[in-house]
A and B are shown apart, each in its own frame.
Chain A
Amino acid sequence: GAGVSQSPRYKVAKRGQDVALRCDPISGHVSLFWYQQALGQGPEFLTYFQNEAQLDKSGLPSDRFFAERPEGSVSTLKIQRTQQEDSAVYLCASSLPPSTGGFGYTFGSGTRLTVV
């Protein structure tokens, strides 16, 4: 598609529930990133994929967070046993791989997760 698509746009989960957030990157973009953005803050890195390989997951806050991109296109971020501190906007971005100095990301509109 023309842009990065994320679904759902809004998700309300009861504490302890598992959630799955989907990201459809721009076709041909091999790099895919997940970021978490709390209210009034900048995006914080969670994890990075190059094609289907998860090359960096150092930003995942706990082992309740899991991400996959099995065929190198669509990615899913899963949060198990959600807690209130997981409430945030989850942003997905894709980009061309770096060459001489980096490229801008294209972000989706995000999924706003509220844990009650």
Chain B
Amino acid sequence: SQKIEQNSEALNIQEGKTATLTCNYTNYSPAYLQWYRQDPGRGPVFLLLIRENEKEKRKERLKVTFDTTLKQSLFHITASQPADSATYLCALDFPYGNNRLAFGKGNQVVVIP
């Protein structure tokens, strides 16, 4: 069955450094992959979508890469700030159709001032 893996350990990073998160998946080739941010007590907020034919996508201080051979996406936050502290979820369109997404467990980032 399809599986999405994100690091369960929180990433503690010094302010100003680049935070890098990994999302690995198995048993499927998604048409696109998405990243969301979730703060405690809130719903996830959509950040970026990258399609299977795109290698890299950027939005402000965020960068996402998508390697369909490795079945992996990397999510980078450059010049990290304490306000970037949150849980980041990756999501894939596993073969369900209907625009349905399957989510990873999320990876917490803590930016230390």
Residues in A lying within 8 Å of B, measured CB to CB: 4, 31, 33, 35, 40-45, 48, 50, 55-56, 91, 93, 95, 97-98, 101-110
Contact, CB under 8 Å: A45 / B43: no
Chain B: interface residue total (CB-CB under 8 A): 27
From known contacts A40-B105, A101-B32, infer whether A106 and B98 are also in contact, taking CB-CB under 8 Å: no
* Proximity bits, B78-107, A CB within 8 Å = 1, else 0: 000000000001010100101111111110
Output the nearest chain B residue to A45 by Cβ-Cβ distance.
B100
A selection of 16 A-B contacts at a CB cut-off of 8 Å is: A35-B103, A42-B4, A42-B89, A48-B98, A48-B100, A55-B98, A56-B96, A56-B100, A91-B43, A98-B98, A102-B99, A104-B36, A105-B101, A108-B43, A109-B42, A110-B43
Instruction: Report chain B residues within 8 Å CB of A4.
Output: 43
Q: Does B13 contact A (CB under 8 A)?
A: no
Instruction: Report chain A residues within 8 Å CB of B47.
Output: 104
Quick one: which of A41, A48, A101 has the most chain B CB within 10 A?
Answer: A101
From known contacts A33-B100, A109-B42, A110-B43, infer whether A104 and B34 are also in contact, taking CB-CB under 8 Å: yes
Q: Does B49 contact A (CB under 8 A)?
A: yes
From known contacts A109-B42, A110-B43, infer whether A103 and B105 are also in contact, taking CB-CB under 8 Å: no
